[in-house]
Homo-oligomer: A and B are copies of this chain.
Amino acid sequence: MSLLNRQLRLKSRPDGLVGREHFDLVEQPVPELGEGEILLRVLYLSMDPTNRVWMRDIPQYLPPVAIGEVMRALGLGRVVKSRSPHYHEGDLVQGITGWQDYLVLHDSAKGYVRLPADPGIPLPTLLGAAGMSGVTAYYGMTDIAPVQPGETLVVSAAAGSVGSIAGQIGKIRGARVVGIAGGADKCHYLVDELRFDAAVDYKADDFKQQLKAATSDGVHVNFENVGGEVMRAVLSRMVIGGRIALCGLISGYNSGEKPSDDYGIFVMKRLSMRGFLVLDYTKTKEAVHAITGWIREGKLKTEETVAEGLENAPVVLNRLFDGSHRGKLVLRVDAQA
């Protein structure tokens, strides 16, 4: 008896909401297993915002799903047949299964985790909190922007799969945690069930006022899942030296347009950026010593453009913006200097 495998293959790229019309549902027999191969029955698929990004033909961290290709997705399957010594019938396997009923996998394939037949945890939880979503939250809060006891953490999309775990890890680490979510129900859920210190409804007219009231001492860490206006509001509440773990920008994923902010590339390329002001360096002796040394040794060349006359200061300043000088622009105020 040959098994039938249903596959959802990308037919056209959605613009906005995703529909059945963007996929072909194809049925075909499951192939015979070769040496070292296993057959997985897909049990659960993880629904992730990043799936939506994979459908778009834009530069991203993995190649977009090609037209005609089975839609890529994380899933959990059970081994129903094995020609590999490393997998046994009944084993659970987590990894990229795609939107299909069955998957033939070679045991050398990378990125698949074998789990015991009974992992001691409900399977949907295994795909969520104990899977990619929870692990994402964990590293965001411990490695990317570790939150410290007593600090204020703001999590956006806080009732979601990653945000709900990130916020709770913040509580476990001793932070004051404020969640942003849409609607009163979710906000109550955050405070009453997940024990966040406060919740702010981004759909409310007074969202910014709510956020301000909930973060009266400023925001030390932002675990950001949303982007756009929500992120801008949080940034405006950050303390000096605040840190942002940029996990996702879901507000822009469904849009055919260019996202409303410039942050997407920071996720895609895992970039870090730090703004700075020299006035934070109050002891600059080391720097001045090094620089003057390099100047004397001829390793560092300097050039100054000297303009004249206090009364000319306003118009001289414009030269910074018209590209008409090189190096440092200074104004001589004392003609004898």
Report yes or no: A271 in contact with B244, Cβ–Cβ below 8 A. yes
Report yes or no: B172 in contact with A134, Cβ–Cβ below 8 A. no
Report yes or no: A276 in contact with B270, Cβ–Cβ below 8 A. yes
Report yes or no: A273 in contact with B276, Cβ–Cβ below 8 A. no
Taking the closest CB of chain B, its distance from the CB of A199, in whole angstroms, is 12
Max chain B C-beta neighbours (<10 A), residue from A123, A164, A262, A278: A278
Decide if A205 is an interface residue (CB 8 Å cutoff).
Answer: no
Interface residues on A, range: 35 or more
Contact of A246 among B168, B276, B327 (CB under 8 A): B276
Report yes or no: A8 in contact with B320, Cβ–Cβ below 8 A. no
Taking the closest CB of chain B, its distance from the CB of A33, in whole angstroms, is 19
- Residues in B neighbouring A241, C-beta threshold 8 A: 269-272
Query: How many copies of the chain does the oligomer comprise?
Result: 2
Known: A8-B311, A20-B311, A243-B271. 17 other contacts (CB 8 A): A8-B313, A8-B314, A19-B315, A22-B314, A23-B313, A47-B317, A48-B320, A99-B313, A122-B304, A134-B288, A134-B302, A138-B291, A160-B326, A239-B269, A243-B273, A246-B274, A270-B275
**A residues in contact (CB < 8 Å) with B:** 6, 8, 17-20, 22-23, 25, 41-49, 51-52, 61, 71, 73, 75, 78, 99-101, 121-125, 127-130, 132-136, 138-140, 144-145, 159-161, 164-165, 168-169, 172, 182-183, 186, 189, 193-194, 232, 235-236, 238-247, 250, 253-254, 261-263, 265-281, 284, 287-288, 290-292, 294-295, 299-304, 306-307, 310-311, 313-321, 323, 326-334, 337
